Structure 1
Amino acid sequence: MKLRVLGCSGSDLPGHNLTSFCVNDTILLDAGSVTSSLDLAAQARLEHIFVSHSHLDHIKDILFLADNLIEFFVAGSRAPVAIHGLPEVLDAISTHLLNDTIWPDFTVIPTDSPVLTYAPMIPGVPVVIGDLSVAAYPVNHAKAASGFVLWQDGGTRNLAYTGDTGPCDDFWKAMDALPFALTNLITEASFPSSMEALATASKHLTPKLLRAELDKLRARPDIFIYHLKAPFADVIVDELARELAGYHYRLLREHDCIDI
């Protein structure tokens, strides 16, 4: 399983790309910085988008990706790009973005070969794409939100992605209940611990809160941290070094490529 970091920042600033990860060249986990990170040929290889929640920083490039790919669909030469997520997330995208007011509805354009299609997910029920399985598990963020678990080879290669989340007992219980040992985890640390009230109100994590969440896990995966708010990044990095003592972790950076 090959993971490419297109964007992993909690802020949209020069040098800080919004959240999006590309898996095996054909799958996206969120779509915050796709069209600014991939050339057209790479965009044309994309077949699936797994959307954790409907906040703009995780979905905005679905709009521009659809527009860029229109040439490949005019002749009806390929299957639509499937947008996977909880039903409430897909409904929000349909109602508020792909609605012919904010952006054209590319689930019906072109008429005979639309660019996009919706693929609602049931929590815990995997979507199988070749030899890769992807399942959604709800987290504590937004109106409806989920993380995802991806696995191959019966789970010997696996990755969990929380998406944005605040404290959430059920997600960690689900990770420990997987039929394989969780070995890789992408999760967030958005604010410094001094801003815990804001983190809690917006359903995000601080380094202190993240440590408390990780301590709920029996598994001890390798941890990859994303979504630092850029104005506070230096403080967050220092706090992570203290709070995550004893854990194996690294900060994700744009353009990282990781073999799982």
Structure 2
Amino acid sequence: MKVRVLGCSGAIAQGCRTTSFLLDDNVLVDAGTGVGDLPLEEMARIDHVLLTHSHLDHVASLPLMLDSVASTRMADNRPPLQVHALPQTIAALRTHIFNNVIWPDFASIPSADTPLLKFVPFVVDERLHVGGKMVDVLPAVHTVPAVGFAVHADKGCWVFSGDTWRNPAFWERVNKLPVQMLVIETAFSDRERELARRSLHLAPASLAEELDQIGPGRRFPVYITHTKPAETGLIMQEIQRFDETPNRANDVRHDIRWLSAGDTFEL
């Protein structure tokens, strides 16, 4: 399985795109602004979108992408684009975006019988089969209902935390998976730790405590995502500092790396 990082920033700025990952050429995980860098022919090949939650930085490109590929999908008689999400996320999209006020309701265009968009609900802990991939829906702790994902591949699992705060249930699941790569958010620096707590995001100090929940003897690369552009440099420094001074008795150090838009991984 190929994973392409289309966007991994916590906000927009020059060179910064918000969260979106393309799995092979047919499954999108979140639909942030990074989707806009895809050529039209690549957008048209996407048949499934997995959404972690309803916040704008994770869904902003979904209505625009549908508009861009609508004529191609209709001309090719393609089935509806399937958007897989929690029921609460689907309700938010229907109410606030695809409501014929902010954007057309593509779930009924060109008709209710042959729509361009189909919403497919899931629940936490469900195992999905999407676009030829097996996907586990993982718990997340955020200001709106949210999830993470574990996507199974030949060499192990690609695991994405989604937007989350302290999350013991996530680690209970992750420690049972053959993780090959973990992508985990760290939105704020420690100087903004109170804002991180209130918005249910991680900062380096809370990230350190979360990584301490990785099971003994387990080691895999940990990629940092969702940093705020104005704080990315400081967040990197603070993470490097805590990881160079482990706080566990067995002197654990993590293989922490920095995610960048344009990165590609083979699993």
Normalised to the residue count of structure 1, the TM-score between the two structures is 0.94
**Post-superposition offset of 1:149:** 0.6
8 Å CA contact 1:74–1:113 kept in 2: the answer is: no
Residue in 2 that maps onto 1:213:
210
Whichever residue aligns with residue 114 of structure 2, its letter is S
Q: 1:207 Cα deviation (Å)?
A: 1.1
Range moving further from structure 2, 50-59 or 122-131: 122-131
Task: Report if aligned partners of 1:9, 1:16 keep a CA contact under 8 Å in 2.
Answer: yes
Q: Is the contact between residue 25 and residue 46 of structure 2 (CA under 8 Å) also seen in structure 1?
A: yes
CA deviation after TM superposition for structure 1 residue 244, in Å: 2.6
Q: SS at the partner of 2:22?
A: strand
Q: 1:68 Cα shift?
A: 0.7
Matched, 1:24 2:27: no
User: 1:1-260 maps to which residues of 2 (within 5 A)?
Assistant: 1-75=1-75, 77-111=77-111, 112-129=113-130, 131-153=132-154, 156-178=155-177, 181-218=178-215, 219-245=218-244, 246-260=253-267
Distance (Å, rounded) in 2 between the aligned partners of 1:228 and 1:146 = 18
Does the Cα contact within 8 Å between 1:131 and 1:152 map onto a contact in 2?
no
Structure 1 pair 149–82 and aligned structure 2 pair: CA distance change class (3 A): same
With over 3 angstroms needed to count, the CA separation of the structure-2 counterparts of 1:29 and 1:197, relative to structure 1, is same
Shift of the alpha carbon at 1:73?
A: 3.5
1:255 alignment partner AA? G
Quote the Cα distance in structure 2 between the aligned partners of 1:143 and 1:66: 24
Unaligned 5+ runs, structure 2: 245-252
CA distance in 2, matches of 1:74, 1:41: 14
Partners of 2:87 and 2:76 lie apart in 1 by 27
Partner deviation per Cα, 1:98-147 (whole Å, 9 max, x = no partner)? 11111001011111532111011122221113542012112111220000
Structure 1's unaligned 5+ residue stretches are none
Superposition deviation, residue 74 in structure 1: 3.1
Q: Percent identity?
A: 34
Q: CA deviation at 1:173?
A: 1.0
User: Once the 2 structures are TM-superposed, how far is the Cα of residue 202 of structure 1 from its aligned partner?
Assistant: 0.4
Instruction: Judge conservation of contact 1:73–1:114 (CA < 8 Å) in 2.
Output: no
**Alignment partner of 2:197: what SS?**
helix
- Pairwise CA distance, 1:87: 1.1
Aligned in 2, Cα 1:130/1:63: closer, same or farther, shift over 3 Å? closer
Contact 2:48 2:131 in 1 (8 A): no
Is contact 1:34–1:65 with CA below 8 Å preserved after alignment? no
**Could you tell me how far apart the structure 1 residues matched to 2:67 and 2:91 are?**
20
**4+ long deviations beyond 2 Å:** 72-76
SS of residue paired to 2:93: helix
TM-score, normalised by the number of residues in structure 2: 0.92
State the Cα deviation string for residues 148-187 of structure 1 (Å, max 9, x = none). 010034xx42111011111111111121234xx2221100
What secondary structure sits across from 1:185 in the alignment?
A: strand
The question of whether the paired residues in 2 share the 8 Å contact of 1:69 and 1:115 is answered with no
Give the Å deviation of 1:225: 0.8
- The amino acid across from 2:15 in the alignment is G
